A and B are shown apart, each in its own frame.
Chain A
């Protein structure tokens, strides 16, 4: 038997309680790892490395539409091969099912998104039929849509000129992704921009964002800078960023992610402190006589304090490391699952903060029970006083 063996044996004296406490520590550190990484992702600066497309939106917000008249200027920027544009439609299917539907220029869409595969005649149909619509395979499968059907969709933003928010589109094509990443992004639909632009009651000739296909990914940073400089001090100032940064920014609209993350973590760790602290306090309370016997045998006050601290540390360390390990795997899965659009990396920095949290938590939950163990008087403890 060793001192560490003794610590572990004591830790598992009430197996169920210890396992439940361990699970709460694991869950807390799993959340901690993921949320810290998400926070890092939201706080990261612009990253243009490897970008093949850029998204230009209004500097204020992508909800503020930009004029389509910017298109030739954007296409004239050196390094830009082709430009598509998307206008948010705000589709609702049947009662209340929200759909991701954009109004887009059909052929520009095909050129800028070569990873969306669809027979050429369907692309042509999309371009020629004014009331046309194409849907991603995921979406079409989900709602059982077939090519040739009329799809009634209402818009929660745009009424038609007759005042009706109900629109009917002809489904002329169903596109799929050419690889796994692209397949994951086929849960959206596109309607013909020209028809939408003419038929809606509101603004004309405007779009939420332009998608700039680049001739060379190395020019992403330069193109971004040029575009934004071009419209600086104009009524339509722009913000040009990579798709990844755009997606992150999109989620950021929810609110101050950093603040949300901090509050969640505060709540999680506060609860954890109570749970683990209670476990440790209970564990010490129910074996006061045993701790007194340890002192009787010659273990000093400091050694007994050390044993209790070691138990708290072992519990937090084991749970923390497993939690951070799981977070690392979960983060990698999220990164892969979103086609690298939401890179949740539980990196060295997160691990280091996690380990610091483990140490601090061990101290916090172990301190009072350890001091109690240290201070107990043998004679009183043995007599049950």
Chain B
């Protein structure tokens, strides 16, 4: 059996909120194979986003192990973790989180500033990524000149541009209408099926979850079941 893309082993996450300690994840274990498309569902406060942040290397567990692509990332120092994120994972957020001062092309190019690519190569790669998400003709537009769906496509292009094997998406359609949401989810499906990207999305929307290969339910910091 091949090595899983994501392996979460007995992970606990405790947040300090003022004087109080809040345990969000309780010894959670999970494996996501390479090329999978997983939807994480569950009520607010169930720990979906926390789990996603741990998988994406944005946060570190209080206890347990997180391995992505066979590498333990839960103990990496801040600098190494940043370097790891730059080369191994792409992020898509609910509110797109594009840089308003940059064009679509500039936003997509941004992660490539961390590579050794020349300016011309960066520009070319950004153009390809924008083409993949169907926005080649909007390259020179700033985020405020784009619709919500277009902004999310730019965000996906930005997540893709450094060719990571893992995409983590936090409510990627939460701010979009049904039709646009379906287009975005369709795009993620294409990236999963045709480009082999492993995708983990957090969603409240059962229709969005239908685009995934499987859905995992979380409740009170624990994995409930594994639905087909």
Q: A296-B58, A301-B82 are in contact. Are A13 and B114 (CB under 8 A)?
A: no
**Cβ 8 A contact of A378, one of B59, B87, B109:** B59
Classify chain A's interface size: 20 to 34
Q: Is B93 in the interface zone, CB < 8 Å from A?
A: yes
Chain B residues with CB under 8 A of A382: 58, 93, 97
Contact indicator B97/A290 (Cβ below 8 Å): yes
Chain B residues with CB under 8 A of A5: 106
Least CB distance, A224 to chain B, in whole angstroms: 63
Classify chain B's interface size: 20 to 34
Chain A residues with CB under 8 A of B114: 297-299
A140–B18 Cα distance when bound, in Å, is 81
Q: Is B53 in the interface zone, CB < 8 Å from A?
A: yes
Interface of chain B residues 108 through 127 with chain A (CB within 8 A): 109-111, 113-114, 119, 122
Chain B residues with CB under 8 A of A73: none
Contact indicator A295/B82 (Cβ below 8 Å): yes
Contact indicator B86/A298 (Cβ below 8 Å): yes
Q: Is A10 in the interface zone, CB < 8 Å from B?
A: yes
Interface of chain A residues 252 through 310 with chain B (CB within 8 A): 289-290, 293-302
Interface of chain A residues 1 through 54 with chain B (CB within 8 A): 1-3, 5-6, 9-10, 12-13
Contact indicator A297/B119 (Cβ below 8 Å): no
Contact indicator B102/A9 (Cβ below 8 Å): yes
Q: A297-B91, A378-B59 are in contact. Are A1 and B106 (CB under 8 A)?
A: yes
Contact indicator B85/A296 (Cβ below 8 Å): yes
Chain A residues with CB under 8 A of B102: 1, 6, 9
Contact with B along A193-206 (1 / 0, CB 8 A): 00000000000000
Chain B residues with CB under 8 A of A68: none
Chain B residues with CB under 8 A of A302: 79
Q: Is B190 in the interface zone, CB < 8 Å from A?
A: no
**Cβ 8 A contact of A290, one of B79, B99, B105, B122:** B99
Contact indicator A13/B101 (Cβ below 8 Å): yes
Q: Is B100 in the interface zone, CB < 8 Å from A?
A: yes
Chain A residues with CB under 8 A of B147: none
**Cβ 8 A contact of B99, one of A12, A293, A295, A379:** A293
Q: Is B21 in the interface zone, CB < 8 Å from A?
A: no
Contact indicator B110/A378 (Cβ below 8 Å): no
Chain B residues with CB under 8 A of A297: 85-86, 91, 110-111, 114, 158
Contact indicator A1/B109 (Cβ below 8 Å): yes
Contact indicator B79/A301 (Cβ below 8 Å): yes
Q: Is B78 in the interface zone, CB < 8 Å from A?
A: yes
Closest chain B residue, CB of each to CB of A292: B97
Interface of chain A residues 130 through 151 with chain B (CB within 8 A): none
Chain A residues with CB under 8 A of B111: 297-298
Chain B residues with CB under 8 A of A13: 100-101
Least CB distance, A255 to chain B, in whole angstroms: 49
Contact indicator B119/A2 (Cβ below 8 Å): yes
Closest chain B residue, CB of each to CB of A383: B49
Contact indicator B83/A298 (Cβ below 8 Å): yes
Contact indicator A293/B97 (Cβ below 8 Å): yes
Least CB distance, B147 to chain A, in whole angstroms: 20
Chain A residues with CB under 8 A of B82: 295, 298-301
**Cβ 8 A contact of A379, one of B58, B97, B100:** B58
Chain B residues with CB under 8 A of A2: 113, 119
Q: A297-B91, A298-B111 are in contact. Are A10 and B79 (CB under 8 A)?
A: no
Q: A3-B113, A300-B78 are in contact. Are A289 and B97 (CB under 8 A)?
A: yes
Contact with A along B56-87 (1 / 0, CB 8 A): 10110000000000000000001100111111
Chain B residues with CB under 8 A of A6: 99, 102, 106, 110, 113
Contact with A along B167-198 (1 / 0, CB 8 A): 00000000000000000000000000000000
Chain B residues with CB under 8 A of A290: 97, 99-100
A9–B83 Cα distance when bound, in Å, is 24
Least CB distance, A297 to chain B, in whole angstroms: 5
Chain B residues with CB under 8 A of A295: 82
Closest chain A residue, CB of each to CB of B162: A298
**Cβ 8 A contact of B110, one of A1, A300, A301, A379:** A1
A3–B113 Cα distance when bound, in Å, is 7
Chain A residues with CB under 8 A of B78: 300-301
A6–B59 Cα distance when bound, in Å, is 26
Closest chain A residue, CB of each to CB of B53: A379
Least CB distance, B116 to chain A, in whole angstroms: 13
Closest chain B residue, CB of each to CB of A2: B119
A210–B83 Cα distance when bound, in Å, is 79
Which of A6, A13, A297 gathers the greatest number of chain B CB atoms within 10 Å? Answer: A297
Q: List 21 A-B contacts (CB under 8 A).
A: A1-B105, A1-B106, A1-B110, A3-B113, A5-B106, A6-B106, A9-B101, A13-B100, A13-B101, A290-B97, A290-B99, A290-B100, A293-B99, A296-B56, A298-B86, A299-B86, A300-B79, A301-B79, A378-B58, A379-B53, A379-B58
Binding site for A on B (CB under 8 A): 53, 56, 58-59, 78-79, 82-87, 91, 93, 97, 99-102, 105-106, 109-111, 113-114, 119, 122, 158
Known pairs A1-B105, A297-B114 / 8 extra A-B pairs, C-beta < 8 Å = A6-B99, A9-B106, A10-B101, A295-B82, A297-B110, A298-B85, A300-B79, A382-B58
The 7 closest A-B pairs by CB, nearest first: A298-B86, A9-B101, A300-B82, A1-B106, A298-B85, A293-B97, A297-B111
